[in-house]
Amino acid sequence: MSLKSSIHSQNLPKHIAIIMDGNGRWAKEKGFLRVFGHENGTKSVSTTVESCAELGIENLTLYAFSTENWNRPKLEVKTLMQLLISSLKKEMNNLQKNSIRLNAIGNLEHLPERVRKELLHVIDKTKNNTHMTLTLALSYGSRDELVNATKQICDKVKNNIISVENI
C-alpha cells in the first residue's frame, strides 16, 4: 500500500502554510555558497506544490521573502529575485496543468519591477484555475501588517464606517 493511499483526505487540512527558511544555512553547513541552498530550495518548493495539489490541499501559502530579507547582501537578494523570476517561468506549465491559481501577498511594490511584472503575469494567467491556490508571501512582515491594519481601522473610524466601540 502506498503512502498516499493510506492518507484519509477528510483528515487533511484545507490550508498549509510553510515558512521557507534555512536553505542558506544548509548550504553553508555543506561547504557551499548560500545561493546553492536557495537554488536547491526551488526543487523542494516544486515537489511540495505538486504533492499538495495531488493530495487535494485547497490552499498553500509559502512565506518566501520577508521584509527583513532585504537586509541580506545585495548579491544574495539579486540572486533570490532572479530565482523567483526563473521559477515563475519554469513552473507556469505545472500551475496550468494542475489548475493551480497563483496569488501573492505582502508589499509587492517593493519588489524589483521585472520581478513584479513576471509575478503579476503568472497571477493573471492562472486566475481562473480552481484546484488549489498557491499564495507567495513576498516582502511581507508582521510589523508592516500591523501598521497597515491600524491605518485601515483609523481610516474607517475617521470616515464613520465603524465606531471606536466596534473595533
pLDDT in tens, 83-113: 999 999 999 999 999 999 999 999 999 999 9
Q: What is the DSSP letter of 31?
A: T
144 is catalytic: no
Cβ-based neighbours of 19, under 8 Å, separated by 6 or more: 63
pLDDT in tens, 58-77: 999 999 999 999 999 999 99
What pLDDT, on the 0 to 100 scale, is given for residue 4?
67
21 is catalytic: yes
**Per-residue confidence at 152, pLDDT binned at 50, 70, 90?**
very high
- Cell numbers at 152, concatenated: 485601515
Strands 15-19 and 59-66: parallel
Q: Which of 21, 94, 148, 155 is catalytic?
A: 21
Pairwise pLDDT comparison (123 vs 4), residue with the higher score = 123
- Whole-model pTM? 0.84
Helices (H), 60-138: 74-97, 113-125
Q: Which of 69, 103, 107, 129 is catalytic?
A: 69
Work out the burial of residue 136: count CB atoms within 10 Å of its CB; fewer than 13 is exposed, 13-18 middle, 19 or more buried: buried
